[in-house]
Structures are given as C-alpha cells and as structure tokens.
C-alpha cells in the first residue's frame, strides 16, 4: 500500500527518443496552467444554450452562472446539467477589478434560492452536525449542490463565530460561495468530500473539547475553514501524477505537497484578491499571521506522503504527555484532527463508507486512464485491470485508518471508540464482498 504514494521514476521509459515523444504527449495534455472554471467542467460539444442574457441557474447544482462558457460546460454531456433562465432581479451583481485588472464578482455566485430555503439547509445541517451517520450525499441533493457552504456556516453558527465575533457574516458567505464554486466535479475530491471532512473535523473537535479546558475560538475557526478549503481546486489526480506529468502546479510548488500547497494558496488568494471575501479583515495583524500559519500547517498535513511521520510524532507526544490538556503547543493536535477527518470515512456506517470507497476507486481508475493517455506508467491502485476494491479498502484501513484512530483515542476517546466499532463492521462487510468476488464498483 505504501507504493500508492511513491513517486514514479520519469527516467524509466527507455531511450531519449521515447522520452522526447513522452514530453510531446505531456505538453499536449496540459499546454498551460489555466484558471479553473467553477466545478472544473471541460468545454466539449454541448446542447444549445437557453436564453440566459441575465444569467442562468443550474437546476442540478443550484448555482448562478453568468459566464457563457461556464454555462456551456454545465450543459456538456459529461456533466448533463439543466439550466434555467433568470431575470436580473434574481441576483445583485457587484463587480470590481481584481488583481491584474481581471473583472471578478463575489455576489454573482450567490445561490439561486430564497433566504428561507438557505436557512432551512443550515438548520438541517445543525441538526446533523455531530451525527456520525450524517448522510452527506443526501445533504448534497437537499442543498442543490451547495452542501459545503451550508454545513460550514451551520458549524460556525454553532460555535458562535458568525455574529458578535471577529468576522463579517456577509464576507464569510461570499468567501464560502467562491470556495464551493472552486471545487471541481471529481468523482471523489469534490465539495461533498470537503463537507464530509469539515463535519468530521467538527465532531472530533467536539470530542476533544471534553478532554481540555478550552479550545480558543480562533483555533476552532481556523480548523473549520481549513477543512472546508483543504481540497480546493483539486484536479482529481494525486501528487505523483502532477509531478510525473510535469504539470505547472508541480513546477510552481517544486514537487513538494503539490496539491496541498495549491489548495491552501488558492484559498488565501480567493480571500485576498476578491472584494468582499477577506474573512480575516477584522483580525489584528498578529491574529492574521497566526491564523494563516495554522491553516497552512493543517492543510499541508493532509498530504498522505507525510502520514507516517505525522503519526510517529503524534504518538511520541502522546507518550510523553498523555493528557492533551497539558499540551502547550496544540499545532500537532490540530494537524492530526484534520488529517484524521480526511481519511476517516471508512469508519462511517457501512452504508456511507461503501459509497465513499466506490468514489475514490473510480477517481483512481480515472487517473490511470489519464496516465495511459499521457504516456506514463499506470500508478498502483489506478489500474482497472488489477483493481480489487474490497482488498484495497481492507489494506487502507489496516495501514492508515485504524492506526490513526487508535493513536487519537487518548485525545477523543468517546468518538474514537464509536468510530472503531463502526470500522470493525466495515471490515467485516468488505471481507464478505471480497469472498463474493466483488472487485470493482458497479459501472466501472
């Protein structure tokens, strides 16, 4: 399983002529880094656009689309969404000149629904905010494709962080609208996954709160927001693919935690370069520095390449100081919370764990197809011909999920015991499916 995260050797392809051919294929694959469109759809043959001079509402994901290209992307066969024409009264668009003179708008991304409907979504999220059987897939449909902003605002409200604290409510909403729109239509790394991780991190935080005297509001805010943005703009491929295909993002971040560096950098770019989106504007200078550093550290900790180092350091600290209430520096603790939240879905009830497994396997196989198209070796666990979903899940649970849960038991015993119990049931279910000969998700 460790090979899943190793870098492939780009020099292993033989002669210089073959290497030259490979470079040409890679250049065709991504000639230049482009600003990702909301939801990351690729413009291909599309159905005729409806009359959307004032903008269109995507009936399937509930987003307001004012750009013709983005509207066409939503109508493409690979996405298959329906658009409805809207009047100018459906939105209040306030544009401004962003960095480099590029026109941008925050409020133009506003969800096309009434305040009452949005309030209903947030209330539902609050009712389920700490439930381990929370069905995030159903919630995604309920919110018309806007689960992340709904859950994140619900959690911020529950922690009294939206009113009478250090943030402006409208600014937070503006920022989260852009974040949600910045998640691509990947099989796994999408806004639904981000919602799942954010809710999981809140559950773990709640369990931790019973073991410590206090968790500062600033820390809670940073963890919730870092969870929400932790996969922002993900392209549906891992770091090895970006490095080996010589993707511009790998060049920008020097092959170091490429995805993770991009996610957090993009989040701060959204906040800093878009009018009405700077969620840190009311913080003091020192508070901004502290919050930024914590969010960076937390998101970078989600890189699976550092999993074993992170787990080793956490176990060492737990052995040295078993009472987490005595930890003077909680940075490692917070990094572990979001990392655990990121890999914890196998410990959900199996009715939720299985759909997550099917989605991640699908995305792996899609990466394998892209590797073949780019002339790269197909990565381990990305090969449809050799994929065995139950076996892959059992291996991931044994090597990554279970040891991480066990390590965190001293910090959040109530949650961990419940999650481990669900995990044992999931292990049993995967063994049954393996014995039944199931190898791939239906349709792959």
Report residue 234 as tokens. 């993900």
Tokens 């990351």 -> residue: 40
d(CA 4, CA 399): 12
d(CA 179, CA 118): 17
Contact present, 346 and 353 (Cβ < 8 Å): yes
Q: Which of 132, 172, 178 is nearest to 153 (CA)?
A: 172
- DSSP letter for each residue of 407-432: HTTTTSHHHHHHHHHHHHHHHHHHHH
Q: What angle do CA 245, 370, 195 make, to 5 degrees?
A: 95
d(CA 226, CA 199): 12
- Known catalytic residue: 189? yes
d(CA 192, CA 441): 19
Report residue 322 as tokens. 């078993």
372: left (phi over 0), alpha (psi -120 to 50) or beta: alpha
Helix 217-229 to helix 147-158 angle, to the nearest 10 degrees? Answer: 170
d(CA 355, CA 140): 14
d(CA 150, CA 152): 6
Contact present, 352 and 139 (Cβ < 8 Å): no
Q: How far apart are the first and last CA of the chain?
A: 22
Catalytic residue among 74, 81, 159, 189: 189
List CB contacts of 182: < 8 A, sequence separation 6 or more: 36, 38, 232, 233, 266, 270
Contact present, 347 and 422 (Cβ < 8 Å): yes
Report residue 25 as tokens. 């294929």
Measuring CA to CA, how many Å separate 431 from each of 73, 388, 392, 424, 428? 40, 12, 11, 11, 5
The catalytic site residues sit at 189
């Amino acid at each position: 399983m460790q090979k899943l995260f190793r870098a492939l050797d780009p020099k292993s392809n033989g002669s210089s002529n073959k290497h030259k051919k490979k470079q040409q294929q890679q250049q065709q694959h991504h000639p230049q880094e482009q600003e990702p469109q909301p939801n990351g759809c690729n413009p291909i043959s599309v159905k005729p656009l409806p009359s959307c001079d004032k903008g269109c509402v995507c009936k399937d994901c509930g987003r307001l689309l004012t750009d013709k290209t983005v509207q066409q992307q939503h109508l493409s066969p690979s996405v298959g969404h329906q658009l409805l024409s809207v009047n100018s009264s459906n939105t209040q668009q306030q544009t401004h000149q962003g960095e480099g003179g590029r026109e941008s708008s925050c409020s133009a991304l506003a969800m096309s629904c009434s305040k009452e409907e949005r309030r209903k979504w947030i209330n539902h999220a609050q009712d389920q905010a700490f439930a381990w059987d929370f069905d995030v897939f159903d919630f995604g449909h309920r919110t018309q494709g806007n689960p992340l902003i709904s859950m994140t605002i619900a959690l911020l409200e529950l922690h009294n962080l939206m009113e009478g604290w250090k943030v402006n409510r409208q600014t937070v909403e503006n920022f989260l609208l852009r974040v949600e729109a910045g998640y691509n239509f990947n099989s796994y790394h999408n806004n639904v996954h981000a919602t799942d991780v954010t809710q999981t991190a809140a559950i773990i935080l709640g369990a931790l709160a019973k073991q410590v005297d206090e968790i500062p509001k600033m820390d809670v805010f940073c963890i919730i927001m870092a969870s929400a943005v932790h996969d922002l703009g993900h392209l549906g491929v891992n770091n090895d693919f970006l490095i080996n295909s010589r993707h511009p993002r790998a060049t920008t971040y020097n092959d170091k935690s490429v995805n993770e560096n991009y996610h957090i950098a993009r989040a701060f770019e959204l906040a800093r370069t878009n009018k009405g989106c700077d969620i840190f504007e009311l913080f003091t200078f020192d508070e901004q520095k502290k919050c930024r550093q914590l969010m960076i550290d937390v998101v970078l900790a989600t890189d699976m390449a550092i999993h074993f180092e992170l787990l080793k350091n956490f176990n060492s600290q737990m052995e040295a100081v078993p009472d987490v209430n005595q930890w003077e520096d909680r940075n490692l603790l917070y990094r572990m919370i979001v990392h655990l939240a990121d890999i914890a879905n196998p410990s959900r009830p199996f009715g939720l764990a299985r759909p997550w497994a099917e989605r991640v396997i699908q995305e792996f196989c899609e990466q394998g197809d892209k590797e073949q198209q780019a002339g790269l070796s197909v990565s381990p666990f990305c090969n449809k011909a050799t994929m065995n979903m139950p076996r892959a899940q059992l291996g991931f649970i044994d090597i990554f999920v279970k040891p991480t849960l066990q390590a965190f038991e001293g910090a959040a015993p109530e949650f961990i015991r419940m999650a481990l119990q669900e995990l044992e049931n999931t292990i049993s279910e995967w063994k049954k499916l393996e014995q039944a000969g199931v190898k791939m998700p239906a349709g792959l």
